[in-house]
With several copies, the nearest count.
Chain A
Amino acid sequence: MPIVPLSDAIRELVHDGDTVALEGFTHLIPHAAGHEIIRQGRRDLTLIRMTPDVVYDQMIGMGCARKLVFSWGGNPGVGSLHRLRDAVENGWPGPLELEEHSHAGMAAAWSAGASNLPFGVLRGYEGGDLPARTRVARITCPFTGEELAAVPSHRPDVGIVHSQRADRHGNVQLWGILGVQKECLLASARSIVTVEEIIDELTPVAGAIVLPAWVVGAVCVVPRGAHPSYAHGYYDRDNDFYLAWDAISRDRDAFRAWMDEHVLAAVPA
């Protein structure tokens, strides 16, 4: 798939009922793609992400999600995600099933997914109440007899990430905090990468990774597509927005009004 408008990519690649991951660890969170999914009214999605934050709060509050697979669902440095809480605590706008992991478990599940393995192995999920509430199994080392944890790998239908730039062939370059973006993209059956810009040729950048075009589904040019998250080298994290979101999202009506004005009425990228 060549370089296409975001609205086309979401329309073609994201379907009702899909398992979808919009990944990002604070950095490069694909907000614009999440907004387009909301605009197109997708329903019954299973959302995967280690650190669901504002964009998942928005998708949940707008009724896109049936289930959330995650390890830490908060507004980083601020507090709660009120739409996520409202869904879990009060079933508004609908019930939200949770599959909850630790970061280490999610990271192992992403690596295993990218590796085409059905499970990942880690030292974890020992004691406490989490193991009884999630999908985890014990596995025995055939050489030492040690017991370890196994988590099912993530294999989403669609993986969506944001990155700094791509070349005209669709080779994607990404740097700064790398998170699990490569794993998310490689573990997914289909993928979308939104980028700040397209350039003629990718030049080397220290700390950068490149995802070749032939493992990338659609590439969509969406300047500031990560805002209020940030794109290292392009713009800073809008910390004020994350702080402001706390008040906007506490109230259902204020939330809907904000979404109407800033997302639903916005022009698709």
Chain B
Amino acid sequence: MTYTADEVMAVEAARRIGDGAVCFVGIGLPSLAANLARRTHAPNSVLVYESGTIGAKPYELPLSIGDGELAETADAVVTVPEMFAYWLQGGRIDVGFLGAAQIDRHGNLNSTVIGDYDRPAVRLPGGGGAPEIALGVRDVFVMLRHSRRAFVEKLDFTTSLGDRVRVVVTDLGVLEPRDGELALTQLHPGVDPEQACEATGWDLRLASDVRETDPPSDEELCALRSLRTKGDA
């Protein structure tokens, strides 16, 4: 089966979710990846949405983080203050997904502004849960489409820190920390290293063991597409 760049991102991120992992997921690609993992190799993974739903099992992908189906299918619904205090800060989350407008070589993220903070060229939505997710979960997974605009030498604003970023899944490949900075460790099928370097605003290092991503299997693609009946930004 053929597949899109977004699909390979979702599939590759999903593969890295261990069965039983407790995942703090946002909307969009992270929600897609986490739900895919739950439908394939990680049926016991737990989806936690910051809206307060713990163990949500949506049949369709939610458009927003607070869709009703999340509450209806959850093991528990807690208030937002409880979610952030008892659950995220409580250190109970294994994997946190983050997106951003910009990332640097250390995995620091910007989701606040492009340009100067006081007179921004683009005012982005802001950090939301990211600053504390970035420090409060065991492993941070970043999902971000690869471009020089996004993979920058210097962030316009540091919204969250990269200390716990274990993997960055892009539409071209995968970056992981090696010797203190993110290096390319995987390329998706049909992508060559120059493409990834070209789309990166810093001098991207290639890991010594760069490998090709296994192409999405038919099973993965079917499971993924059956999820995508609702919008997924």
Contact = CB atoms under 8 A, between A and B. Distances in A.
B79 to A, nearest CB: 5
A26 to B, nearest CB: 2
B221 interface: no
B44 to A, nearest CB: 9
Contact of B127 (A71, A76, A209, A210): A71
Interface stretch (B88-96, B137-145, B170-178, B183-191): B88-96
Interface in B123-174: 123-132, 135-136, 157-161
Interface residues of A, number: 66
**Which of B62, B86, B129 counts the most chain A CB atoms within 10 A?**
B86
Given A77-B27, A127-B161, A104 B125 contact: no
Contact of B81 (A79, A127, A180, A230): A180
B85 A122 contact: yes
A183 B161 contact: no
Interface stretch (B6-14, B33-41, B65-73, B206-214): B65-73
Contacts of A130: 112, 127, 131, 158-159
A248 interface: no
B92 A102 contact: no
A119 interface: no
A70 B129 CA distance: 12
**Which of A26, A74, A88, A111 counts the most chain B CB atoms within 10 A?**
A26
Contacts of B52: 25, 177-179
Interface residues of B, number: 64
Given A108-B84, A210-B76, A212-B46, A103 B129 contact: yes
A189 B17 CA distance: 25
Contacts of A202: 75
A26 B51 contact: yes
Nearest to A239: B63
Contact of A178 (B28, B75, B78, B90): B78
Contacts of B55: 212
Interface in A184-216: 186, 202, 207, 209-212, 214-215
B79 A179 contact: yes
A85 B108 CA distance: 24
Contacts of A210: 75-76
B68 A179 contact: no
A232 interface: yes
Contact of B131 (A85, A104, A209): A104
A115 B90 contact: yes
A89 interface: yes
A27 interface: yes
A81 to B, nearest CB: 8
A138 interface: no
Interface in B1-45: 20, 22, 27-28
A117 interface: yes
B101 to A, nearest CB: 11
Contacts of A178: 52, 77-80
A89 B80 contact: no
A27 B89 CA distance: 23
A128 B158 CA distance: 5
A179 B78 CA distance: 8
22 contacts: A26-B67, A71-B128, A73-B123, A76-B66, A77-B62, A77-B233, A79-B233, A89-B119, A104-B129, A104-B131, A108-B85, A111-B81, A117-B89, A122-B85, A127-B158, A130-B159, A133-B117, A176-B77, A179-B52, A179-B66, A230-B68, A243-B231
Given A122-B89, A182-B79, 11 more contacts: A26-B65, A100-B112, A103-B128, A103-B132, A122-B85, A123-B132, A176-B71, A183-B81, A209-B76, A237-B63, A237-B67
Of all A-B residue pairs in the complex, the 5 with the closest CB atoms, nearest first, are A26-B66, A74-B125, A72-B128, A76-B64, A104-B132
